[in-house]
Amino acid sequence: IQDVPSYQSYGTASTTSSLPDSSGRKVVVRSSSYGPLDNFIVRSLSKKDKEKFYILLIRLTVACGWALQWVNKPEARELFEFLNPFLKLPDRRSLGGEILKDAVAEGDKVMEIALKEDQTGVTLTFDGWTNVRNEQLLGVVIMTSEGRPYVWKAVDISLERETHVEVMEKTEAMISDLKSKGVNVCAVVTDSASAYAAARRRLRISNRAIVFLPCFAHQINLCVAKLREQQKITYDGKIYALAAPGETRWNSYYEVCSSLLRTQQALQILAINFKPPFSQVRRQAGETPTISREMFEIIDSESFWTNIHLIVEMLYPYCKILDILQKDKARLFQVTHCFAYLFQFWNDHANIQLAARIQVRLEKRWSDWEQPLLLLSCLLHPEYRIEQFKDNVNINYTTFGKWLKYYYWAWSGKESTCILREFDDFRLGKYPFDDDTYKQFNNDIWRYWCFARVSTNELGLVACTLFGICVNAASVERLWSCMGFLQTNRRNRLKSSKVLNMSKLRADITWKHRINSDSSILTPLSIITRNEEENNNEKEVEENLVIIEEEEGEEKEKEEEEEDLEKEFNNYLQGCFFKKLFRHGKRKKERILL
Looking at residue 278, what DSSP letter applies?
A: S
- At residue 564, the pLDDT reads 65
- At residue 391, the pLDDT reads 65
End-to-end CA distance of the chain: 94
- At residue 577, the pLDDT reads 39
Looking at residue 38, what DSSP letter applies?
A: G
- At residue 517, the pLDDT reads 74
Cα–Cα distance, 376 to 62 (Å, whole number): 42
Looking at per-residue pLDDT, the higher value among 17 and 136 belongs to 136
User: Which residue, among 116, 335, 129, has the nearest Cα to 223 in the 3D structure?
Assistant: 335
User: Which residue, among 136, 179, 167, 134, has the nearest Cα to 154 in the 3D structure?
Assistant: 136
Looking at the DSSP bridge assignments, the partners of residue 189 are 125, 213
Cα–Cα distance, 254 to 185 (Å, whole number): 36
Q: Is the pLDDT of residue 313 over 60?
A: yes
With contact defined as beta carbons under 8 Å apart, do 149 and 141 qualify? yes
Q: What are the pLDDT digits (tens) for 157-199?
A: 999 888 999 999 999 999 999 999 999 999 999 988 899 999 9
- Most confident stretch, 98-112, 230-244, 522-536, 577-591: 98-112
Cα–Cα distance, 499 to 506 (Å, whole number): 10
- Most confident stretch, 135-149, 217-231, 521-535: 135-149
Residues of the chain above pLDDT 70, percent: 74
Q: What are the pLDDT digits (tens) for 74-94?
A: 999 999 988 888 888 999 999
Cα–Cα distance, 502 to 457 (Å, whole number): 43
Cα–Cα distance, 374 to 200 (Å, whole number): 17
Beta-carbon count within 10 A of 273 CB: 10
Mean pLDDT of 353-373: 88
- At residue 522, the pLDDT reads 39
Lowest mean per-residue pLDDT among 157-161, 217-221, 233-237, 545-549: 545-549
Looking at residue 212, what DSSP letter applies?
A: E
Give domain 118-215+473-537's CATH superfamily: Ribonuclease H-like superfamily/Ribonuclease H (3.30.420.10)
Q: Is the pLDDT of residue 108 over 90?
A: yes
Cα–Cα distance, 198 to 565 (Å, whole number): 10
The secondary structure of 221-241, three-state, reads HHHHHHHHHHCCEEECCEEEC
Q: Is the pLDDT of residue 525 over 60?
A: no
Q: Is the pLDDT of residue 512 over 80?
A: yes
Helix axes 216-230, 332-347, angle to 10 degrees: 20
The secondary structure of 396-444, three-state, reads CHHHHHHHHHHHHHHHHCCCCCCHHHHHHHHHHCCCCCCHHHHHCCCCC
Lowest mean per-residue pLDDT among 43-47, 193-197, 507-511: 43-47
Beta-carbon count within 10 A of 427 CB: 15
> How high does pLDDT run on average in the chain?
80
Strand 122-130 versus strand 185-190 pairing type: parallel
Mean pLDDT of 511-524: 63
Looking at per-residue pLDDT, the higher value among 183 and 20 belongs to 183
Q: Is the pLDDT of residue 409 over 50?
A: yes
Lowest mean per-residue pLDDT among 257-266, 391-400, 452-461: 391-400
Q: What are the pLDDT digits (tens) for 427-450?
A: 999 999 999 999 999 989 999 999
- pLDDT category at 131 given cuts 50, 70, 90 is very high
- At residue 546, the pLDDT reads 34
Cα–Cα distance, 86 to 45 (Å, whole number): 7
- At residue 394, the pLDDT reads 73
- At residue 280, the pLDDT reads 66
User: Which residue, among 475, 445, 299, has the nearest Cα to 376 in the 3D structure?
Assistant: 445
Beta-carbon count within 10 A of 565 CB: 17
- At residue 450, the pLDDT reads 95
Q: What percent of the residues of the chain are helix, what percent strand, and what percent coil, each to the nearest 5? A: 55, 10, 35
- Please enumerate in sequence order all residues whose Cβ is within 8 A of that of 54, keeping only pairs 6 or more positions apart, or say none: 90, 95, 99, 102
| Cα 128 to Cα 186, 277, 494, distances in angstroms | 22, 50, 19
Mean pLDDT of 19-29: 48
Lowest mean per-residue pLDDT among 154-158, 397-401, 402-406: 397-401
- At residue 38, the pLDDT reads 54
- pLDDT category at 548 given cuts 50, 70, 90 is very low
Lowest mean per-residue pLDDT among 173-182, 390-399, 491-500, 538-547: 538-547
- Most confident stretch, 476-490, 497-511, 555-569: 497-511
- pLDDT category at 41 given cuts 50, 70, 90 is low
Q: Hey, which bits of 181-273 come out as E strands?
A: 185-190, 211-214, 233-235, 238-240
Lowest mean per-residue pLDDT among 18-22, 192-196, 197-201, 407-411: 18-22
What is the Cβ-side half-sphere exposure of residue 520, based on CA atoms within 13 angstroms? 12
- At residue 281, the pLDDT reads 66
- pLDDT category at 592 given cuts 50, 70, 90 is very low
Mean pLDDT of 453-469: 95
Mean pLDDT of 523-531: 34
Mean pLDDT of 235-246: 45
- pLDDT category at 145 given cuts 50, 70, 90 is very high
